[in-house]
A and B are shown apart, each in its own frame.
Chain A
């Protein structure tokens, strides 16, 4: 919970700073022409704490293999040449003080362009076609190079987990995930990035797999089949029956059973007087409803399993 406040405050503060910077500071490009590279040691003289963490994190380790990043290592590989900044001697009124790149105040294309200099392929392969890129989301909106909050520090997140970050913008998802039946996102067992690729993918909704079913089956391989007797919607799209972002029906079903089943099946072979003489103890109406008997609803590999009873 605390992290939500921190994230929101950070984003809010960052936005304010960005707005202020856009209006009041000269752009980096105006001054970098005369700036020169001074090396990370010069930065460490003032930014000792940051420099210490930097050396332990992935970006700092790039110095060990500078050839892999075309020799661009150290603080200035991202922040640009720092001689004018150093020469300003912490005087914020000096023009050179603001000559280094400050990502909060940079335009998205410019800020992200720095990152994708190195982060080109792998998870970022589809970044340039992604909705996040189109809508001006910056890498530093979600990632913090110097003060990451994720427990492993591997992803350098601005929050303790991806979901908290996502829900700062995708607000309605927090509402859905707070429903009674949901996947363990709020509890930390998984996060939005378990299913969605925030850096973009070729699949609609930025899914991490090529289709909804392929994604679901990556954790629920038991349902993958093909079975001897398949249930058609199971093979087409899991979200025909399940609400992946949560519902108030058991197993995150899109509707309460038996009504969910009766969207596609009328009462054939179930000659009940269910609805004009409601009997709440009926095994067709309560507990798992239809699934009290048709437990093999994801498909059966049993030769007597056509109706998902065996």
Chain B
């Protein structure tokens, strides 16, 4: 950080000292700000630090010496969302760019945890606490309540530092070579969880220390009617923390049946990918044009497996027996990703243009299947299964053939008609193939009377070829016993009819007033889904106007309303069981339930600029509001279901700025900002550190207490903007 400050200072000073030597210009904006917030809620600064004190909003220095030129720029310097970049070039033959950006993600400022971070992904509790809980389980709630009451606050945020560099070389007319490199270094924490069995969930932080590196080289050529691009790249993900190890609050010693003193969870494995891409665009003749791409990527992941369990009380021989015939100790995961696109465009006449497209997207998962003989899924007890624990290397493929025809039926009026045929394949899913046909049409009109209009609609029908019920059944179970309900259709592969419609109407009433209204609608019906998502309907309308009554005043405002309704069905069971018996294909209908979720979203904004004194003093005011209310309407056949409480979100942001321009071109800026966030969400608010006693046996779950809080924030800033 100190180096960056020195570098920036040096460059800024040098531009002031030697402006006569080099051709240089630039700008800088800085100031000081104070802000106040009524609750210690992270949302205000979720993706960026709100300055509290001096700030450097942005700067730019551009200079040229002879044939060499460069620029240095930065934004929000000294904050944790800063970005800066440097570019250097010699004409357009050689260009070197580099940039550095920090992307923070702040989750909570009130998270607390009794677990002590030991580093390398290990989180510990005091031995005495584990021992006491094991020996006196009846006192668990009181003991943990006392312990959690003094649990320290913990950081719950991560930051990604993105560094990239690009070298571009143009050795000859039409040819451009590129070398690109990017690294993302992500460090910090976010919410995670590890369970030691039913009713023993433990929320904890995921320790994040990851590196993502991507390098690529590309050659571009464009001359005449031919355009080419060839690219090869390599990317790598390195996780410096392999596993999360967490003490079990209930146990001090390992037991082969009632749990272990700690649990171990695998964190994201290292992986890498090699890719190649080839793009071609060619004008075949005055009428036809071709465009195509070929993409190929090889994905590999071979991180060693952790043992089945960290529980030392389960005999090593028993654990080893779970491997069965499997000799591998790592996944050696491999997948091939292949994509091709081809399109032929024909300009039949000046008024008619058509395109025919073909697209194939194939994710071929070549990972081996491993017939494990069981699991120790909570580090609690070993569960044997002769055939049931086989991994499924899911793959998928989609082929699309489509066409679109665009005809200018009158001056400024175009009609577009299109059709797509989509065939999909899902490896190891309950639906292996489905087919979707889509027809669509759209009309565009740009009339000289100042009217712009567009309206479109589409209808798509997707049908699966066969539902393979055996995929809902355990391999070792009888034909009548399923682990998933046969009436369930997973919506991503279920039969579906989808209707889309959208429109926009813009009218420039006169030189002062421009009005636009737009809307869209989509409805998806999952025709054969008794359980699962049954339908999804969403629409929104948005109106916007721009009003410029005079040369010194401009106003832009808009209001939108959106609505999303989903209906879904599921099943509730009152007794524990690992399998579901089928009764006449209509399974325990009395326990089926439905959820109708009704989501209403409002949005409004106003932006205005008033040039109070032309060319010297102006006021800028901006405001936006977003409000969302959701109802969760639950029903069952016995009418005993109770609706869940509504959730409500409201976010408002207002800014008022005054700009005064001094005669030398310097701008003095005063700013006032207002933010408010109101939230009412049963699932995300008032989260206790220990699950409270209730009807369900969840009183022992431990949470971070990172619930949302309502807040209001005010900020006041003065600043200066200067070009030099």
Contact = CB atoms under 8 A, between A and B. Distances in A.
A218 B273 CA distance: 10
A179 B638 CA distance: 36
B268 A222 contact: yes
A286 B85 contact: no
Interface in A1-32: 1-2, 4-6, 8-9, 12, 15-16, 19
B571 A222 contact: no
A15 B507 CA distance: 12
A53 B73 contact: no
A226 B334 CA distance: 6
Nearest to A282: B696
A126 interface: yes
B189 interface: no
A230 B235 contact: no
B630 interface: yes
A219 B644 CA distance: 36
Contacts of A64: 67, 90-93
Interface stretch (A79-87, A92-100, A183-191): A183-191
B537 interface: no
Interface string A132-161: 001110000000000000011110000000
Contacts, number: 482
Contacts of A135: 444
A292 B195 contact: yes
B92 A296 contact: no
Nearest to A269: B578
A5 B636 contact: no
Contacts of B289: 128-129
Contact of B60 (A152, A180, A210): A152
Contacts of B389: 306
A73 to B, nearest CB: 10
A276 B642 CA distance: 5
Contacts of A240: 492
Contact of B620 (A5, A232, A248, A277): A5
A303 B306 contact: yes
A31 B380 CA distance: 86
B394 interface: yes
Contacts of A225: 269, 271, 299, 301, 333, 335
A278 B642 contact: yes
Contacts of A309: 194-195, 265, 377-378
A262 to B, nearest CB: 5
Interface stretch (B2-10, B149-157, B513-521, B710-718): B513-521
Most buried by B among A62, A190, A303: A303
Nearest to B370: A228
B623 to A, nearest CB: 9
**A contact face: mostly helix, strand, loop, or mixed:** loop
B228 interface: yes
A180 B708 CA distance: 11
B279 A5 contact: no
A231 B25 CA distance: 54
A263 B570 CA distance: 8
A219 B520 CA distance: 30
Interface in A269-310: 269-289, 291-293, 295-296, 298, 300-307, 309-310
Nearest to B698: A283
Interface stretch (B131-139, B251-259, B339-347): B339-347
Nearest to A257: B683
B603 A126 contact: no
A304 B308 contact: yes
Contact of B365 (A15, A226, A275): A226
A281 B92 contact: no
Contacts of A291: 193
A222 B264 contact: no
Most buried by B among A128, A273, A286: A286
Contacts of B636: 275-276
A309 B200 CA distance: 12
Contact of A211 (B99, B343, B361, B649): B361
Given A1-B655, A179-B628, A184 B48 contact: yes
A58 interface: yes
B42 interface: no
B163 interface: no
Interface stretch (B31-39, B140-148, B461-469, B539-547): B539-547
A236 interface: yes
Contacts of B187: none
The 6 closest A-B pairs by CB, nearest first: A120-B222, A64-B91, A226-B333, A184-B47, A1-B622, A121-B222
Given A237-B492, A280-B694, A303-B305, 12 more contacts: A69-B173, A129-B289, A134-B406, A171-B542, A180-B626, A210-B297, A214-B297, A224-B299, A248-B647, A268-B580, A273-B572, A304-B308
30 contacts: A1-B657, A6-B609, A8-B556, A12-B548, A64-B91, A121-B176, A153-B60, A154-B97, A175-B560, A175-B603, A179-B626, A187-B47, A188-B81, A189-B47, A189-B48, A214-B297, A222-B210, A228-B367, A228-B370, A236-B363, A236-B394, A276-B572, A285-B683, A287-B203, A289-B683, A292-B201, A305-B377, A310-B194, A310-B266, A310-B379
